[in-house]
Amino acid sequence: MRKLLVLALVGLAAQLVDGALGMAYGLTSSTLLLFAGVAPAAASASVHLAEIGTTLAAGVSHWRFGNVDWKVVGRIALPGAIGAFAGATFLSSISTEAAAPWMAAILFTLGAYLLVRFSRPLRANRAAGRLRSRFLAPLGLVAGFVDATGGGGWGPVATPALLVSGRMEPRKVIGSVDTSEFVVAGAASIGFLIGLGSEGFLLPTVAALLVGGLIAAPIAAWLVRIVPAQLLGAVIGGVIVLTNARTLLSAGGVGGSVPVVVYALLGVAWLVAVGLAVRALRRARRARATVDAALADGPASAGEAAAAESAKSGEFAKPGESAEPAEPAPSGESAEAAESRKLAAAVEG
């Protein structure tokens, strides 16, 4: 009974992290099961069966909080399901140990990029456009395969790639990845059922992980909505870097006190990045407050306030560049309202 209670708490904590950061439920749960001596295939099968319930609850919660881009979900879920089914079916004959260091190196690089990206003021990527199927389909296929064969990996592979693209808000990346994982977990479970049979699932463990995950799902969906994107991106980057640093050090056979020094340096770098992200977030909020206050005095005053804040942050127009042309106001919208909308969008960007 005590073991099941511990597993339920692990499921709760894993889903809380997964729902807030878009990753780590499968990795956390599978690591514990492997540590307890469960066979890799049985551990992955049990975790994925529990994820059918937790990801359904997480998807509904993220949808209610407006964190889901359904077009992205549709384009990444089906390839992810195909990859997960293939990975689950052939897990007994396919070893991913040799590929683990390479995957860790890629994720480490993406995590470091996120730390740098979110430690500076965010800029809207206006020319990026929407994510296309030619990017999402291969991403889902690889992430689904890694997820099934490694007992986890859908979030660590899909979330950084979507964040680095710069075309989605972090909260919508997390919500969309969590929602699409329901389809991936279902496909993986079917693959394990075919490959292992019903005896491959540890049902008491599945129930304990499921209960903990169901409790945490709505809390995590609410948390990702209120945590600022600037801070959330820096936190995610640090988690990715530290998580994959362990795999790289183990693959390189590094021992003694070296790993401790490396973890300490990475931890300091993470704290610095989070501090810079907080500073950039505060500056953005001050600029927004200044423009909002100036809007009460009219668009002209708001424009002067926005220009002053841009000068403070060093964001001057390049020589030869002119200001953006004024956007036509929608029908029924006054010129003053259109100007206010444009200034608000500029501050948000």
How confident is the prediction along the chain (349 residues), in pLDDT tens digits per residue?
677 787 788 778 777 767 666 666 777 777 777 666 677 777 788 888 888 988 888 888 889 888 899 999 999 999 999 999 998 887 756 554 665 676 667 668 777 877 887 787 755 454 456 778 889 999 999 999 888 877 777 887 888 788 777 778 878 888 899 899 999 999 999 998 888 787 777 788 888 888 887 887 777 767 766 767 677 778 877 877 887 788 788 878 887 888 899 999 999 999 999 999 888 888 888 887 887 777 766 655 545 555 555 445 444 333 334 334 444 444 444 444 444 444 444 434 4
Contact 152, 34 (CB under 8 A): no
Distance CA 62, CA 77 (A): 16
CA dist., res. 52 & res. 73, Å (int): 16
Residues 9-48: b if buried by 16+ CB within 10 A, e if exposed:
ebbbbbbbbbbbbbbbbbbbbbbbbeeeebebbbbbbbbb
